[in-house]
Amino acid sequence: MNTLKRYILLIFAALLILTACEEELRHRASSDDKVPPQPPTNVTYKPLFGGARFYYDLPADEDLLSIEATYTNADKKTFTFSSSYFVDSLDVYGFGDTIDYKIDLYAVDRAGNRSNPVNVTVKPLEPAITRVVKSLDLKPGFSSFFLDWINELEQSINVYIDFSYSKGGTTHQHTAVFSSNLPSDRRFVENLYLTPQELVSVKVRVTDIYGNKSEPVDLGQISLLEDIKIPKNNWFLPAANDSIAGVPQCFGDGLEGRLRYVIDDIIDRGDNLNFMHTHSRGKTGRTQDGNMPWNVIIDMGDYYELSRIVTVQRHSGGLANINRGQYYGGENVGIYELYILNEETNEWEYVTQHKIEVPVGLSELEFVKKGEAGDMAYMYPDNPGYTKPARWFRYRAMKGFGGNYTLDNANCLSEITLYGRKAVK
């Protein structure tokens, strides 16, 4: 090693040692510091829904770390909120009423010393859970019902749905619990299998992470909708590239895939290769036209009013069916559109678009079970009902899951199942 390089390395090592010593001295100084900082001054607040936003002037202490606010609720539980010294405001949430609340504000330094408290009395706007309760919207579904709500503050809440019904002379009572922090949400209570005459009584309670809870809200009784699985024994798939009302049937026999597998009532489980594969031949079925969109067109053999669809993705996750495989990713479809054919005009009528949400927080095995169960979508998700009578149905694959649903890389589909009722002629 030449003299210049050795000299540079020695200087670099010395700088490292000097920096380490400074950090140690700073840490030691903070650790030995017993002097609390000055409190924030000129404190004001703005009422929020279920909270308050505090504004203040920061103290001039060099080792200031943060501003904290604490309050104790009626159950004697204390909550603490913190804001960096880089900002001059602090939000406090969790108030369950529009009464006066006493809040203590502190300045905190790097050694953990707290200033004397600044006592502030605030009166918040209506609490978050009250606003959620006011937004509750109950609607019937097919062998199910669902609840919509708005949570504009995106606070973590729990929604308790207490429901009961009588069947066979016996009263059944159940509670479904859903946790959410989304600005708007929709949750289903499914698999009830009741007739429209067997009414369901529904009450809802909402709680938050601060211990606040609403009174039960009686949403009354609801009559569920009925449908049946449409039999596939008379279904027919036009040949690849055959056009129906100007739209070509997709090519689905690429690689191990076969188009006929999408209507055989057998799902791909990783060991049977039961899926279709476009082999990147979308649009008109020619390779040069790109991957997507592509269409699966089905002649149902008779006229039906459609209510919902269940699709099952390609799995290919190993012989034991315990790994996620391609579920909610890979070459599967993430966004699709649905159409029925108006034979009088010979035009395809748009019904809906559906985005398959990727589940979160699931184990590998839970992913498999959810994928095998399939993903259900209503023809009219906001107001469940039936389409006009139709014999021809069209599934249009739009996007894959990749790139947050932006990529045209979906080639595969395992199964299509339709529900509805026989059309009355």
Q: Is residue 385 domain-shared with residue 418, that is, in the same domain? A: yes
DSSP 215: P
CATH number at residue 153: 2.60.40.10
Query: Between the CA of residue 90 and those of 85, 387, 389, what are the distances in Å?
Result: 10, 51, 58
Percentage, residues of the chain above pLDDT 70: 90
Same domain, yes or no, for 178 and 288?
no
Number of domains in the chain: 3
Which pLDDT belongs to residue 20? 46
pLDDT tens sequence across 330-368: 999 999 999 999 999 999 999 999 999 999 888 999 999
Cβ pair 157, 179 in contact under 8 A: yes
* Residue 28 confidence (pLDDT) above 50: no
Contact 159, 147 (CB under 8 A): yes
Domain assignment present for 15: no
Predicted confidence band at 24 (pLDDT cuts at 50, 70, 90)?
very low
Write out pLDDT tens, residues 157-200: 999 999 999 998 899 999 999 999 999 999 999 999 899 999 99
Same domain, 152 and 237: no
Residue 96 sits in the same domain as residue 147: no
Give the burial string for 274-298 (b: 16+ CB within 10 Å, else e): bbbbbbbbbeebeeeeebbbbbbbb
Q: Indicate whether 30 belongs to any domain.
A: no
206 and 283 both lie in a single domain:
no
Going edge to edge, which strands form the sheet with 217-222?
A: 170-180, 157-167, 200-208, 217-222
> Are 309 and 417 within one domain?
yes
**Smallest Cα–Cα separation from 372: which of 227, 274, 255?**
274
Looking at the predicted structure, is the pLDDT value of residue 249 above 70?
A: yes
b/e for 39-76, b at 16 or more Cβ within 10 A? bbeebebeebbbbbebebebbebebbbbbbbbbeeeee
Same domain as 232, residue 215: no
In a domain, 26, yes or no: no
279 within a domain of the structure (yes/no): yes
Q: What is the mean pLDDT of residues 243-253?
A: 96
Percent residues over pLDDT 90 in the chain: 77
pTM for the full predicted model: 0.80
Q: Mean pLDDT throughout 316-323?
A: 81
> Are residues 407 and 274 part of one domain?
yes
Residues whose CB is less than 8 angstroms from the CB of residue 375 and which lie 6 or more positions away in sequence, other chains included = 310, 311, 312, 313, 356
Determine the average pLDDT of the residues in 25-48: 78
Question: Which of 87, 122, 157 is the C-terminal boundary of a domain?
Answer: 122
% helix / strand / coil in the chain, to the nearest 5? 15, 45, 40
My answer on whether 191 and 260 are in the same domain is no
Range 274-286 average pLDDT: 78
Asked if 405 and 258 sit in the same domain, the reply is yes
Residue 200 included in any domain: yes
Structural domain harbouring 263: 228-422
The radius of gyration of the chain from alpha carbons, rounded to an integer in Å, stands at: 30
Q: What is the 3-state secondary structure (H, E, C) of 349-390?
A: EEEEEEECCCCCCCCHHHHHHHHHHCEEEECCCCCCCCCCCE
CATH of the domain at 266: 2.60.120.260
Structure tokens at 107: 């300045």
Q: Supply the pLDDT for residue 237.
A: 98
Predicted confidence (pLDDT) at residue 56 exceeds the cutoff of 60: yes
In a domain, 24, yes or no: no
pLDDT recorded at residue 425: 67
**Alpha-carbon gap, residue 132 to 152, rounded angstroms:** 8
Question: What pLDDT score does 165 carry?
Answer: 97
364 & 253 share domain: yes
Does 5 have pLDDT greater than 80?
no
Answer whether residue 142 is part of any domain: yes
pLDDT at position 322 is 82
Q: Read off the DSSP letter of residue 123.
A: -
> Do residues 141 and 224 make contact, with C-beta atoms less than 8 angstroms apart?
yes
Q: Within 13 Å and on the Cβ side, how many CA atoms surround 87?
A: 10
Which residue, 222, 243, 270, sits at the end of a domain?
Answer: 222
Q: Are residues 288 and 362 in the same domain?
A: yes
Single residue among 122, 141, 163 that ends a domain in this structure: 122
Q: Average pLDDT for residues 397-422, to the nearest whole number?
A: 96
pLDDT at residue 25 in the model: 43
* pLDDT above 60: residue 109: yes
Is residue 283 a part of any domain in this protein? yes
